[in-house]
């Protein structure tokens, strides 16, 4: 099953969609949607870039990333 906090999706191009866990790696709070190339945790201020890497705040671990396939205009997200 997927993380109960949900999944963050970011459309990088027509054929590339990125998917990450929406759970902050610092304290488990739910992350905000991507805006201006980053996602922010409203609890402690950690920010994550479009590679899932922390760029600001107390988080030091990368977000879990999921595999995305686009098949016949359907987006399929799966774990590794």
User: pLDDT tens digits for 1-50?
Assistant: 788 889 999 999 989 999 999 999 999 999 999 999 999 999 999 999 99
pLDDT at 46: 98
Q: Are 15 and 70 in contact (CB under 8 A)?
A: yes
Element (H, E) at 38: strand 38-40
Closest by CA position to 6, among listed 37, 40, 33: 33
Q: Are 37 and 30 in contact (CB under 8 A)?
A: no
Indicate the SS3 state at residue 36.
coil
pTM summary value: 0.90
The yes or no reply on domain 7-78 and CATH 2.102.10.10 is yes
pLDDT at 80: 73
Look at the alpha carbons of 21, 24, 27, 28 in this order and tell me if their dihedral is positive or negative: negative
58 pLDDT above the threshold of 80: yes
């Amino acid at each position: 099953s997927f993380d109960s906090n949900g999944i963050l999706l970011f459309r990088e191009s027509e054929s590339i969609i990125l998917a990450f866990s929406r759970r902050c790696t610092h304290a488990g709070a739910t992350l905000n949607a991507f805006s201006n190339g980053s996602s922010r945790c409203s609890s402690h201020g950690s920010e994550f870039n479009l590679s899932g890497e922390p760029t600001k705040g107390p988080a030091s671990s990368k977000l879990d990333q999921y595999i995305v396939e686009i098949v016949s205009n359907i987006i399929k997200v799966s774990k590794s």
